[in-house]
């Protein structure tokens, strides 16, 4: 059984990936500093999987802690989720984002080289495309100037990984460019748990419906889209998590190489369509208003996922409606 180190493994996407790894016969090992997650997730994971998860509380930029984990556990691969991810905060605190997101990656790659651990899956983002010239966007689209320091850390991280591979390192890497993860595990035991005011649309929707927020603001309805609101490719978090298992299988089959894959449904949905889907699945009318555009928002983007479908043997199976229902069940479970 291969042991996979999952950085940020108690976080939103990380925790769902732990479930998928165990289901596929891998043994995950978590490292998390719990700056944007909660230790109770470990108990919830045990409930879902029936297995106790090995977990270390440490920061990924702490070389001593990383060496301890690699010494104690026979790690055969790494999935790197741990990073700050709020676009707005990154604009306000760029140095915080550059320090955390880039230094942790560098330290991790150094320790992987030291312990001759070669298989690496990186949590990247469709933000690397900016506002693409052509839609749907494929992996060979040019990387555009980033709209935020957060987006730029993803671009630089990808370049760091490619440079390490080009230097003659034995590392094999898959860069997964996520579109917009939403939803929660169907059990409603784990889901998105934002600290403070949510930065993402769906938790803001569910918190508004639950009465935790007075109303939802839709940022702009004058975009060049069918209903005037921004369009994104919303993917169920469990589908996204499963792509990481497929990435390791791809590395096993392809040997020394670099793979870059879009992880999305291949379909765009507008903000208003997401709201309508939620209202249909929850049976609740949402209190929302139209506000001005938000700086830095891309007008529309969705994935061409053909490469992931063919080469990874991966395809999204959940619908937008499924994701909204699971997100609402999760919100109700938190409230109770």
pLDDT: is 254 or 84 the higher one? 84
Q: Is the pLDDT of residue 335 over 80?
A: no
Alpha-carbon gap, residue 84 to 99, rounded angstroms: 10
Alpha-carbon gap, residue 268 to 7, rounded angstroms: 30
236 forms beta bridges with: 182
Please report the pLDDT score of residue 54 as a whole number: 97
Mean pLDDT (whole number) for 115-126: 97
Chain-centroid distance, C-alpha 177: 9
pLDDT band at 261 (very low <50, low <70, confident <90, very high): very high
pLDDT band at 276 (very low <50, low <70, confident <90, very high): very high
pLDDT > 90 in the chain, percent: 88
Q: Select which of 12, 97, 129, 150 is catalytic.
A: 150
User: CA 311, 178, 127, 250 torsion: positive or negative?
Assistant: negative
Is 123 within 8 Å of 177 (Cβ atoms)?
A: no
Q: Residue 95 in 3-state DSSP?
A: helix
To the query of whether residue 150 is one of the catalytic residues in this protein, the response is yes
Alpha-carbon gap, residue 99 to 110, rounded angstroms: 16
Q: Is the pLDDT of residue 270 over 90?
A: yes
Place of tokens 């506000």: 291
55 forms beta bridges with: 30
Distance (Å) of CA 59 to CA 50, 67, 70, 101, 322: 27, 12, 14, 11, 34
Mean pLDDT of the chain: 95
φ, ψ (nearest 5 deg) of residue 300: -155, 140
Q: Is the pLDDT of residue 60 over 90?
A: yes
Please report the pLDDT score of residue 257 as a whole number: 82
Is 238 within 8 Å of 314 (Cβ atoms)?
A: no
Is 69 within 8 Å of 117 (Cβ atoms)?
A: no
Q: Which of 23, 157, 4, 180 is nearest to 83 (CA)?
A: 157
Chain-centroid distance, C-alpha 281: 24
pLDDT band at 86 (very low <50, low <70, confident <90, very high): confident
Alpha-carbon gap, residue 142 to 139, rounded angstroms: 8
Structural domains of the chain ordered from first start: 3-183+234-264+305-314 (3.40.50.720), 201-231+267-304+322-330 (3.90.25.10)
Q: Is the pLDDT of residue 336 over 80?
A: no
Is 274 within 8 Å of 207 (Cβ atoms)?
A: no
Distance (Å) of CA 190 to CA 113, 118, 186, 259: 33, 30, 9, 29
């Amino acid at each position: 059984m291969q042991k996979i180190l999952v950085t940020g493994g108690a976080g939103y996407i990380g925790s769902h990936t732990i479930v998928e790894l165990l289901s596929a016969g891998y043994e995950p090992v978590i490292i998390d500093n719990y700056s944007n997650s909660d230790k109770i997730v470990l108990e919830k994971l045990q409930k879902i999987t029936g297995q106790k998860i090995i977990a270390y509380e440490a920061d990924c930029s702490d070389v001593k802690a990383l060496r301890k984990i690699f010494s104690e556990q026979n790690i055969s691969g790494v999935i790197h989720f741990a990073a700050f991810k709020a676009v707005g905060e990154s604009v306000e605190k760029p140095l915080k984002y550059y320090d955390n997101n880039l230094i942790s990656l560098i330290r991790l790659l150094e320790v992987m080289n030291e312990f001759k651990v070669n298989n690496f899956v990186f949590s990247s983002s469709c933000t690397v495309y900016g506002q693409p010239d052509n839609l749907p966007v494929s992996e060979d689209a040019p990387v555009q100037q980033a709209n935020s320091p957060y987006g730029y850390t993803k671009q630089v991280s990808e370049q760091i990984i490619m440079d390490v591979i080009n230097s003659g390192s034995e590392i094999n890497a898959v860069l997964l460019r996520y579109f917009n993860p939403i939803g929660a595990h169907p059990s409603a035991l784990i889901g998105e748990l934002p600290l403070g005011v949510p930065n993402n649309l769906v938790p803001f929707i569910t918190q508004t419906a639950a009465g935790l927020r007075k109303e939802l603001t839709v940022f702009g309805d004058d975009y060049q889209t069918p209903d005037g609101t921004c369009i994104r490719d919303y993917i169920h978090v469990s589908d996204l998590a499963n792509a990481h298992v497929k990435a390791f299988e791809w590395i096993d089959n392809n040997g020394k190489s670099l793979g870059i894959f879009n992880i999305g449904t291949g379909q765009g949905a507008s903000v208003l369509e997401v709201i309508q889907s939620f209202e249909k699945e929850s049976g609740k009318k949402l209190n929302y208003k139209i506000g001005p555009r938000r700086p830095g928002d891309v007008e529309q983007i969705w994935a061409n996922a053909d490469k992931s479908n063919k080469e990874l043997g991966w395809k999204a199976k959940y619908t937008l409606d499924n994701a909204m229902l699971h997100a609402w069940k999760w919100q109700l479970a938190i409230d109770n």
